[in-house]
Structure 1
Amino acid sequence: MFDADVASRGLGIELVDAGDGTARARMRVTAAMVNGHGIGHGGYVFLLADTAFALACNSHGPPTVAAGGEISFLRPVRAGDVLTATATERVRHGRNGIYDVTVRRGDEVVAEFRGRSRTLGRGVVPPA
């Protein structure tokens, strides 16, 4: 799935590892990702967390998509910062799942994300 994720790879997001309901992804904040306040735009931090979430919830095999997600920004990030998002499955029941993602700069937590997933039904295949 990550190989086909043009958006994430285009922003320099790297897959660190993924498997069995977990995933880690990394991204360097570039000057193009900084907003008018001189800090990293929250949309890019969300995208990194969402990518780790997608990798974790798709680690079980069947195509799975986001049903929703929310993020809390705890500390600002700046150009040059390397962020690592670690996703962990909290619960999976039927076609639904809940995943938590912690985004860190080194050991410092900069954001917390919670995503809700939905596994697509049989015969439903996402477009290529």
Structure 2
Amino acid sequence: MWADDRASQGLGMVLEDVGPGTATIAMTVTQSMVNGHGIAHGGFVFALADSAFAFACNSHDQRCVGQQASITYLAPAMQGDRLTARAGERARQGRSGLYDVTVTDQQGRVIAEFRGQSRSIKGRLLEG
């Protein structure tokens, strides 16, 4: 899945770890990601969290897509900050899953909390 994820790679994200129901992805805030307030645009923070969510919910070899997601921004991230999104599965039942993602900076400060709901679709990721 990572090999075909042009969006995450295009934003400079790095897949650090993936396991059953979990994923960790990191990204450095670049100059082009800073908004008019001089802080990281929320859309880029959301994209990072969403990518971690995507890899966590697809980690069971069942294709999944996002059904719903929300984010709460708790602290600003600045240009040059290295953000890390850690996703963890909270529940998975039938075709639905629930995942929480915490985004932190290089000092461990919580930047945002994200919650995503997944929906499984047809297909497996490891199909030949």
Question: What interval of TM-score do these two structures reach, taking the shorter chain for normalisation?
Answer: over 0.9
| Aligned partners of 2:73 and 2:112 also within 8 Å | yes
Q: Give the number of equivalent residue pairs.
A: 124
2:128 is the alignment partner of 1:119: no
| Alpha-carbon displacement from aligned partner over 1:96-115 (angstroms, at most 9, x marks no partner) | 00000000003110100000
Given the superposition, is the C-alpha separation of residues 122 and 9 from structure 1 closer, same or farther in structure 2, using an over 3 Å criterion?
closer
Q: Is the 8 A contact 2:82 2:105 kept in 1?
A: yes
1:121 is paired with a residue whose SS is coil
Deviations 1:64-84, CA, capped at 9 Å, x for gaps = 000010000000011100000
- Runs of 4+ deviating beyond 6 Å: none
Distance 1:3 1:68 in 2: 24
Q: Distance in 2 between matches of 1:122 and 1:105?
A: 35
Alpha-carbon spacing, 1:59–1:122, altered in 2? closer, same or farther (3 Å): closer
Change (3 A) 1:6 1:122: closer
Q: Is the 8 A contact 2:19 2:56 kept in 1?
A: yes
Partner of 1:36: 36
1:14-62 CA distance string (max 9 Å, x none): 0000010000000000000000011000000000000000000000001
Q: Percent identity?
A: 55
The runs of 5 or more residues in structure 2 that have no matched partner are: none
SS at match of 1:12: coil
The amino acid that maps onto 2:119 is: R
Q: TM-score, normalised by structure 1?
A: 0.94
Amino acid at match of 1:120: I
**In 2, distance between residues paired with 1:46 and 1:99?**
14
SS of corresponding position for 1:97: strand
SS state of the match for residue 111, structure 2? strand
RMSD, matched Cα? 1.4
Alpha carbons 2:63, 2:123 under 8 Å: kept: no
Match of 1:85 in 2: 85
